Each structure stands twice: as C-alpha cells, then as structure tokens.
Copies of this chain bind each other. A is one copy, B any other.
Amino acid sequence: MKSEIDHSLVLKNVRNYINITDEEADFFVSLLTYRRLKKKQFLLQAYDVCKYETFIVKGCLKEYFTDYENDKDHIIRFVTEGTWTSDVESFAKETPSSLNIEAMEDCELLQLDYSSLELLFQTYPKFERWCRLIFEKNYIEFQSRIIKNLSLSGKEKYLDFLSEYPGLSNRIPQHQIAAYLGITPEFLSKIRQQLARE
C-alpha cells in the first residue's frame, strides 16, 4: 500500500538544497515509484538505456564499468542511503549505458522517470536548482576522487577510503574496495597486513 512508504528521507534530500511547500512536496512525492531490489540484482545493466533517476532509501549499490579486454570491473562509486544514482549520460541522452549498477545489499528505492522529472521541472522550476546543486556536489566529489587517484599511493588511498566512508568497509567485501581504489585484491591484502603490523 502506497501510504506505508516513507518519503521522509527523500524530502530531506530535496529540502537540503531548496525550500519547498507541502504542496510542492506532495506533487514531487506523487511522481516517485517505490521499488525493492535483492542483493546481486541489477538496477541497470550496461547497454540498456537508463530510464530512471533512483534514490536509495535503504541499502547499498555499486556503479561500475566492466573492462572486457582485461576481464576486470572498475567501481566508480558506492552509493548508499540518501543518495541518487543513475547512468547520467544514458539517462540524459537516452543512449545505451556504459555502466552497471548492482545491489550489494537488499535495497529499497524510489524512482523518477525522465518524463516525470521534466514535468516536475516544468511545474516547479525551482527543482532545476535542486538538481543543479546535486550535480555541483557530485562534481566536487569526482574532482576530489581524480586528485586522489593522481596523487596517492595504494596505502594512502585505502586509509582515505576508510576515513571518507566510515562503516562502509564492513558492508562491502574487500576485493570490491580494491576495485574501487584501482588496485588488486592481493595488494590490498598486503597493505592491510602491513598496517596490522604497525
């Protein structure tokens, strides 16, 4: 039953960026679709077109790119409660996606499709600002990620990950953290061994 769904987290997300009235909030919420995903299920598979912006109410997913040449996955982001996920390019241009998005835990999600989002922008243009500010935030995070990739050693990247995403290392297998950091699982294991000795 729709009335059971808790929209407080997603409204908190919006109100973090813009002020909205109850009426605007109701309209926004009416556009959202609730969805569950079991661990290991795909929210998006590469080559499919990404049809939704998805807000994570509960759970954790990975956005990753598969390098078939070398048979390796590269994780772009782990996304958890309170954040939005999609293949931005695929969603915006309606082109086949280059990313996979896969549940690492059982998830509860809220989705917004392309036409609903455009309707939202037309009805209440202030939501453009909200969307812009989210992209601004993501820009800053990606830039920080690029700087760290360029300047830190494997060990430094791992320590930075632990402090930037506290608690996440308990929810995610170690070899996936390695795929996020851009090192091999074996090398991550050796880094941890070295840290344990210290």
Closest 10 A-B residue pairs measured CB to CB?
Answer: A135-B135, A132-B132, A142-B142, A74-B150, A128-B128, A150-B182, A89-B140, A149-B149, A67-B151, A125-B125
**Oligomeric state, in copies:** 2
A129 proximal to B (CB < 8 A) = yes
Residues of B within 8 A of A187 (CB): none
Residue pair B139, A129 in contact (C-beta under 8 Å): no
Most buried by B among A88, A128, A142, A149: A128
Residues of B within 8 A of A151 (CB): 65, 67, 70, 72, 74
Beta-carbon nearest neighbor of A153 in chain B: B70
Q: Which A residues from 120 to 153 make CB contacts under 8 A with B?
A: 121, 125-126, 128-129, 131-132, 135-136, 138-140, 142-143, 145-147, 149-151
Residues of B within 8 A of A72 (CB): 151
A14 proximal to B (CB < 8 A) = no
Most buried by B among A67, A74, A136, A147: A136
Residues of B within 8 A of A140 (CB): 88-89
On whether A136 and B76 interact (CB within 8 A), knowing A146-B146, A147-B65, A182-B149, the answer reads: no
Report the minimal beta-carbon distance from A147 to chain B, rounded to whole angstroms.
5
Residues of B within 8 A of A131 (CB): 132
Known contacts A65-B151, A98-B147; 5 additional CB pairs below 8 A are A76-B146, A89-B140, A128-B129, A135-B138, A146-B149
Residue pair B135, A142 in contact (C-beta under 8 Å): no
